[in-house]
C-alpha cells in the first residue's frame, strides 16, 4: 500500500482558532473535517458516519487512526458544522484543500478565455 502524504487534507492547526485553548483534550481537530467530507460523498447521516469511524478500516486509514480507536459521538459532526458557520469560516476547509493541492502540483489556477 502506498504512503499517505504528510499532513493530509487538513491539519489540526488549521482549525485551532475554532476551539478554546483550555478544556479537556479531545478529538484531533482535523478529523471532523475529513469525516464530514466522507459523510457527504457517501450520503451518510451523522450516526452512520460516526459508526463508520468506529468500524470501517477505510475511515480509520483516512483519519490516521489506530484500528482499536473507539471513534467519537455523532454529535461531534454537528458541532463541527456549527463551528464552520461562524465568522466566515465556511470556505476555509475548501480553501485549505485547494491550496494544498496546488502546492502539490495536482491543480492549477484556471485561465479565463
Per the domain annotation, does 35 fall within a domain? yes
Q: Which domain holds residue 98?
A: 26-103
Per the domain annotation, does 56 fall within a domain? yes
pLDDT digits (tens, 9 = 90+) for 70-102: 999 999 899 888 887 777 777 777 777 777 778
**Residue 75 corresponds to which cell in the numbers above?**
454529535
Q: How far apart are CA 55 and CA 29, in angstroms?
A: 20
Per the domain annotation, does 61 fall within a domain? yes
Per the domain annotation, does 14 fall within a domain? no
Per the domain annotation, does 109 fall within a domain? no
pLDDT digits (tens, 9 = 90+) for 2-60: 334 445 666 667 666 666 666 555 666 778 888 988 999 999 999 999 999 999 999 99
User: What is the number of domains present in the chain?
Assistant: 1
Amino acid at each position: 500500500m502506498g504512503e499517505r502524504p504528510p499532513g493530509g487534507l487538513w491539519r489540526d492547526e488549521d482549525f485551532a482558532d475554532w476551539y478554546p485553548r483550555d478544556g479537556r483534550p479531545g478529538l484531533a481537530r482535523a478529523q471532523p473535517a475529513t469525516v464530514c467530507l466522507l459523510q457527504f460523498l457517501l450520503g451518510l447521516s451523522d450516526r452512520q458516519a460516526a459508526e463508520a469511524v468506529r468500524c470501517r478500516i477505510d475511515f480509520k486509514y483516512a483519519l490516521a487512526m489506530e484500528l482499536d480507536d473507539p471513534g467519537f459521538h455523532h454529535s461531534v459532526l454537528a458541532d463541527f458544522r456549527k463551528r464552520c458557520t461562524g465568522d466566515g469560516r465556511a470556505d476555509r476547509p475548501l480553501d485549505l484543500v485547494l491550496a494544498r493541492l496546488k502546492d502539490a502540483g495536482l491543480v492549477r489556477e484556471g485561465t479565463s478565455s
